[in-house]
Amino acid sequence: MLKHILLGFLNYRPMTGYELKSIMDESTMHFWHAYHSQIYTTLRKLEDEGLVTSEMELGDDKLNRRTYTITEAGRADLREWLNTPLHEVVPVKEDLLVRMFFSGERDKQAVIDELRVQRLLHQRTLAEYRNLTEETMLEIIPEDKERAVQHLPFWESTLRFGIQYEELYLQWIDETIRILEEQG
Amino acid sequence: MLKHILLGFLNYRPMTGYELKSIMDESTMHFWHAYHSQIYTTLRKLEDEGLVTSEMELGDDKLNRRTYTITEAGRADLREWLNTPLHEVVPVKEDLLVRMFFSGERDKQAVIDELRVQRLLHQRTLAEYRNLTEETMLEIIPEDKERAVQHLPFWESTLRFGIQYEELYLQWIDETIRILEEQG
DNA sequence: TGGGACATGTAAACCGTTACATGATTGA
DNA sequence: TCAATCATGTAACGGTTTACATGTCCCA
């Protein structure tokens, strides 16, 4: 999956690994994240496969920045991936629910405390998502406004999902705490 | 994670790998799934660590059923894991959203078609979740009704999450299709 | 001058998926 | 007798996470 995410971004414009990591931390964190280690190794793999090329910046400073550019083969690979629709539901994995499922013999107050911590964290996450404006998104392609505008509804739809998901999460936590306290 | 799920179920009663797989397919599929291959290898690993013991059923038939039983060390490990609260949000990974994010240059009708296929699949998933009754859950511990009843609110809370998640998913798909169709 | 952001990498371990592989039991 | 279900396993691969490792630039 990361492979296609990187190709997707490089299809907008050439970027460095560091830039890809920063942009993902802002724009895809609500549905996919990756550590820098994986991004750098995956970029090298893409280069081996001829889907991207890279070159070291020859600037006046000694900061080593390697800029990756998508190749025609890379664009073809991305297009082919996009033209192959998902035909299954990718199963959810939710650590907190695993813990809840097996919490029947735990101290009830400890469970409620854990839910409250999660509530705070998810509230923070939701605030971060709500903070993402159109401008944040447009920075992905700063020099091609028209193209960015074309992509905007798609970017926004994923963000809408992220926000609604976090809202659901908070509601679920509240309702669960209420139920646990009531039977208390 | 699977390790603690298996210990969690074996804490209810001894089970075979096959049983664990079937029960997970019914009771945890909305927040965690595993292939039988991983279940069997993880059970062996748990045995190596002394957290479970196993023995082949010595029945009159030649069907090889290996029944796993949790040890005191296993219970301690499970307890310790449950008493270590999650203090971070585990990031979501949603394949369909990755595809949506990069769909700005795709044929719009193809995107809508893909969403409609997902709609059908998620509708089916939701129907399966709604089909899970209290009785389905109580079969996890058929011989210890009182204990099962104690666990029920926790099992139900995870199912409530699963149902609400699928409802959200359907709403999101509908809204997204509507937006895509409106901008023509 | 110290801390934070910028910047890139490697290695090992771990986890999860896919494919391969086999055989018994039960009911239609 | 055939298909579905019961039942268990191994192997290879690939993706992800964690830890280790290094060095620059810029601002307060």
Closest chain B residue to the Cα of A94, Cα to Cα: B31
Give me the number of domains chain A comprises: 2
Q: Is residue A59's pLDDT more than 70?
A: no
Q: Vertex A99, ends A93 and A102: CA angle to 5°?
A: 120
Contact check, Cβ <8 Å, B104/A183: no
Instruction: For residues A122 and A48, state if they share a domain.
Output: no
Confidence band, pLDDT 50/70/90 cuts, at residue B64 = confident
Other C-beta atoms closer than 10 Å to the C-beta of B112 total 15
- Return all residues near B10 (Cβ < 8 A) that are at least 6 apart: B20, B52, B68, B69, B70, B74
HEC sequence for A5-59: HHHHHHCCCCEEHHHHHHHHHHHCCCCCCCCHHHHHHHHHHHHHCCCEEEEECCC
Return the sign of the alpha-carbon dihedral for residues A45, A16, A160, A143: negative
A 125-144: CB under 8 A from B? 125
Return the sign of the alpha-carbon dihedral for residues B107, B112, B116, B121: positive
B 44-63: CB under 8 A from A? none
Span CA (B47) to C1' (D11), Å: 21
Instruction: For residues A174 and A135, state if they share a domain.
Output: yes
Q: Strand D within 7 Å of which CB atoms in B 51-110?
A: 63-67, 91, 93
Confidence band, pLDDT 50/70/90 cuts, at residue A60 = low
- The tens digit of pLDDT for each residue in B26-57 reads 999 999 999 999 999 999 999 999 999 999 97
- Residue, of B63 and A121, whose pLDDT is higher: A121
d(CA B17, CA B56): 12
Instruction: For residues B95 and B183, state if they share a domain.
Output: yes
A109 touches chain B (CB under 8 A): no
Span CA (A144) to C1' (D22), Å: 36
Contact check, Cβ <8 Å, B28/A155: no
Instruction: For residues B100 and B41, state if they share a domain.
Output: no
Which of A59, A89, A119 is where one domain is finished?
A89
Instruction: For residues A158 and A120, state if they share a domain.
Output: yes
Confidence band, pLDDT 50/70/90 cuts, at residue B62 = low
Six-digit token string for B118? 């997902």
Q: Is residue A184's pLDDT more than 70?
A: no
Nucleotide nearest to B22 (CA to C1'): D6
d(CA B60, CA B54): 19
Which of A89, A122, A155 is where one domain is finished?
A89
The answer to whether strand D lies under 7 Å from the CB of residue A81 is: no
Please give, rounded to a whole number of angstroms, the shortest distance from the CA of A65 to a CA of chain B. Answer: 25
Which of A73, A89, A105 is where one domain is finished?
A89
Closest chain B residue to the Cα of A25, Cα to Cα: B91
d(CA A184, CA A109): 9
Q: Which residues span the domain enclosing A40?
A: 1-89
Per-residue pLDDT averaged across B13-22, rounded? 96
